[in-house]
Structure 1
Amino acid sequence: MPVPVNNSIITSLIRNAGLDITVEQITAINEYINLLLEANKQINLTAIVEEGEIWRKHVLDSLLIFCALAIPAGARVIDVGTGAGIPGFILKICRPDIQLTLLEAQQKKVKFLEKVVARMGLDGVDCLWGRAEEVGQNKNYREKYNLAVARAVAPLNTLAEYCLPLVQVEGFMVAYKGPAGEQELVAAEKAINLLGGGETKIWQHQLPEGEEKRIFVIIKKEKTTPPAYPRRVGVPAKRPLK
Structure 2
Amino acid sequence: MLPEFELCCSEFSSFGIELNEDNYRKLDVYAEFLVKYNENVNLTAITEPHEVLRKHFIDSVVLSKYVDISENSSLIDVGTGAGFPSVPLKIFRPDIKLTLLDSLNKRIDFLKQLCDKLEIETEFIHDRAENISKLPEYREKFDYSCARAVANMSLLSEFCIPFVKVGGFFIAMKGPSEDISLGKNAVELLGGIIENTVDYELFDESRRIVEVKKISHTPPKYPRNSSQIKKKSL
Q: Which TM-score tier does this pair reach, normalised by the shorter chain?
A: over 0.9
Verify the 8 A CA contact 2:80 2:102 in the aligned structure 1: yes
1:130 maps to 127
2:188 maps to 193
Deviation at 1:238, TM superposition (A): 2.6
What amino acid is the match of 1:224?
H
2:110 maps to 112
Q: Which runs of 5+ in 1 are unaligned?
A: none
Deviation at 1:90, TM superposition (A): 0.5
Aligned residues: 234
Alignment map for 1:86-235 (pairs within 5 Å): 86-123=84-121, 125-181=122-178, 183=179, 185-208=180-203, 210=204, 212-235=205-228
Residue 41 of structure 2 is aligned with which of 34, 43, 47?
Answer: 43
Equivalent-residue separation in structure 1 for 2:4 and 2:85 (angstroms): 22
Deviation at 1:239, TM superposition (A): 1.3
Equivalent-residue separation in structure 1 for 2:26 and 2:2 (angstroms): 15
Q: Deviations over 1:122-165 (max 9, x none)?
A: 12x01110100001101111001111110125211000000000
Equivalent-residue separation in structure 1 for 2:150 and 2:100 (angstroms): 13
SS in 1 for 2:76: strand
Q: Deviations over 1:160-209 (max 9, x none)?
A: 0000000001100111101124x1x111001100100024211121012x
Q: Does 1:61 align with 2:59?
A: yes
Deviation at 1:228, TM superposition (A): 0.3
Verify the 8 A CA contact 1:77 1:147 in the aligned structure 2: yes
Equivalent-residue separation in structure 2 for 1:151 and 1:4 (angstroms): 22
TM-score when scaled to structure 1? 0.94
Identity in percent:
36
Q: How big is the alpha-carbon RMSD for the aligned residues of Structure 1 and Structure 2?
A: 1.1
Are residues 4 and 109 of structure 1, via their aligned partners in 2, closer, same or farther at CA, if it must alter by over 3 Å?
Answer: closer
